[in-house]
A and B are shown apart, each in its own frame.
Chain A
């Protein structure tokens, strides 16, 4: 598995897209940190990047890579290797490459300019979201037969989790605004990895605003040790479950 991962990494690290992604992230991070004297404000701006760009690039790049490296998979499948090994090797390789890009592009600047709890949670969310969306990319790659459909499905998943899902939450809140909804909202929000990552950062960042009104309820839930394990656990599920589904499909997939 790690052997396959090694060759995947070797292959990806020379791809121009990944280098562009790294440079892009690094450029944004450095300019945000250097333009703003208050590092916590830069973290806020960086957060939007991490919540939107990182999932988008992770899912689109991984899907594209999966299809571009289809021949590589074909080659491997005819070798004495189990399909599980092949897919997990691929995932490990892609994940390692994407996380390297994220670490250089966002991790290093954050560790230099803002090495505090907020910074670490930002990195944690970024890493989590990268993995979740690579996992989802693998799902859409094995679930579809051609590249265009795969990328289409990936884009839809991304759009769903970053915009539509929140719109649905807002709609639910609007429709049932007379009811006590805090538990429902916690449940709804924790089913979306992007919301989850965002909330993890909010707990560190906007603590004062969240404390007011109903924010206190959320703080009580997500701000505790239990909340931390809960969010981490759900995030892990979001990485593992799509991957397991992908494995199931991939084991029977005709190449």
Chain B
């Protein structure tokens, strides 16, 4: 990553040194942004002073640097797309891009990057755009410090904040996405690094990816999105220290893992979600040092998940720690803390002497008869659960933590 930054920096520097600089302002000889981008020679620098400039499909076909000062407004006037990058080695920074067209015919974008390499989109503001930043068929792109607010049209009529299709080695850093369909959307985007982004109040997912292997997600926050974060059909994903919180609603979850394999989920916080993590057909996953706090369900793991390992996680304040939809259970739970554990620790090794069964009879009943959720926390349900704990008959017997910790792991 550092290497990329160095490369990008040197590209910018060479641009400034080698090319000539054009200043665009409302009273300058060049007062048209579209024209400035068109006439610039390779490796030129365009400095855009504050003002409002119409920009309908401004096409950048040469390597260049565009620097906005005091966020000049680049206005697409709702006609088509706003800025299109069709060249390698382009840097765009400090622009306020707004008013792309919208609709179902085409994925109109605020800034589109197509078949390019070594492009940087830095510190731009995007407003009232269908898609924010749209990268396709591109490599080695840096998207950093941007702030994108989707056009407020509702779920069906909004595009994604940062959208990647068939990309490689893209770094997405320090961005903010709000009011889009998906905050960040990846399809066939490999070897990417996603760090310190905040996606909130998006209509569907904070983060949504498919077929995007070998990506790493660090220190991101996905909060209060329509249905949380959904990731599918992908291998070798690393998710470290992210926060998934406040995703409430019918079938909402912190994180949905569908057909994910060989991935590591570590140090994340799942807090106040209807379901903390829901897993379908996901195998050889490692969950370590995560906190599942105050979710409706901490973990919902389908019976088709195998060889997953859960170690050193904290489960506290969840209505149900875990639930599953079948008798089969082929995953390993060890050394987790469960606040509902009522066992004892006679040998004082801080590990409970009897196993903990996170799946209650009642949570299994709800799977069968969803309306029974009405009986939650009733005396009768408590009695049933207690009876089932002692004589398991319906809950999967193998679903247990053999070494439940007595105390919550301090982070």
Tell whether, in the assembled complex, residue B296 and residue A185 are in contact, meaning their CB atoms are under 8 Å apart: no
Is A232 among interface residues, defined by CB-CB distance under 8 A? no
Partner of A208, one of B319, B379, B381: B319
Tell whether, in the assembled complex, residue B250 and residue A166 are in contact, meaning their CB atoms are under 8 Å apart: no
In the complex, residue of chain A having the shortest beta-carbon distance to the beta carbon of B293: A38
Within 8 A of A (CB), among B346-397: 365-366, 368-383
Chain A: minimal CB distance from B319 (Å): 4
How many chain B residues sit at the interface, stated as a range, is 35 or more
- The answer for the CA separation of A211 and B274 in the assembled complex, in Å, is 7
Tell whether, in the assembled complex, residue B382 and residue A48 are in contact, meaning their CB atoms are under 8 Å apart: yes
Within 8 A of A (CB), among B313-360: 316-317, 319-320, 339
Is A153 among interface residues, defined by CB-CB distance under 8 A? no
In the complex, residue of chain B having the shortest beta-carbon distance to the beta carbon of A179: B371
In the complex, residue of chain B having the shortest beta-carbon distance to the beta carbon of A216: B250
Chain B: minimal CB distance from A179 (Å): 10
Residues of A contacting B249 with CB < 8 Å? 211-212, 216
Tell whether, in the assembled complex, residue B379 and residue A211 are in contact, meaning their CB atoms are under 8 Å apart: no
Tell whether, in the assembled complex, residue A163 and residue B383 are in contact, meaning their CB atoms are under 8 Å apart: yes
- The answer for the CA separation of A211 and B296 in the assembled complex, in Å, is 9
Q: A181-B371, A182-B371, A213-B370 are in contact. Are A206 and B377 (CB under 8 A)?
A: yes
Find the residue from B294, B296, B373 having the highest chain A CB count within 10 A.
Answer: B373
- The answer for the CA separation of A163 and B381 in the assembled complex, in Å, is 9
Partner of B296, one of A41, A195, A201, A212: A212
Partner of B378, one of A185, A186, A198: A198
Residues of B contacting A210 with CB < 8 Å? 296, 373, 376
- The answer for the CA separation of A206 and B251 in the assembled complex, in Å, is 15
Tell whether, in the assembled complex, residue A202 and residue B376 are in contact, meaning their CB atoms are under 8 Å apart: yes
- The answer for the CA separation of A173 and B368 in the assembled complex, in Å, is 10
Is B53 among interface residues, defined by CB-CB distance under 8 A? no
- The answer for the CA separation of A194 and B297 in the assembled complex, in Å, is 24
Residues of A contacting B375 with CB < 8 Å? 166, 169-170, 195
Residues of A contacting B319 with CB < 8 Å? 206, 208-209
Is B272 among interface residues, defined by CB-CB distance under 8 A? yes
Is A117 among interface residues, defined by CB-CB distance under 8 A? no
Interface string of A39-54 (1 = CB under 8 A from B): 0110010011001100
Q: A177-B369, A206-B319 are in contact. Are A212 and B379 (CB under 8 A)?
A: no
Chain A: minimal CB distance from B245 (Å): 11
Tell whether, in the assembled complex, residue B376 and residue A209 are in contact, meaning their CB atoms are under 8 Å apart: yes
Q: A38-B317, A177-B369 are in contact. Are A169 and B374 (CB under 8 A)?
A: yes
Pick the 4 closest A-B CB pairs, nearest first: A209-B296, A166-B380, A208-B296, A209-B319
Interface residues of A (CB under 8 A from B): 38, 40-41, 44, 47-48, 51-52, 162-163, 166-167, 169-170, 173-174, 177, 181-182, 185-186, 189, 194-195, 198-199, 201-202, 206-216, 218
Interface residues of B (CB under 8 A from A): 248-252, 272-275, 294-297, 316-317, 319-320, 339, 365-366, 368-383
> Could you pull out 26 A-B pairs where Cβ atoms are within 8 angstroms?
A47-B377, A48-B379, A48-B382, A162-B379, A163-B380, A166-B379, A169-B372, A169-B375, A170-B365, A170-B375, A185-B374, A194-B378, A208-B319, A209-B296, A209-B297, A209-B376, A212-B251, A212-B252, A212-B274, A212-B275, A212-B297, A213-B251, A213-B366, A215-B250, A218-B373, A218-B374
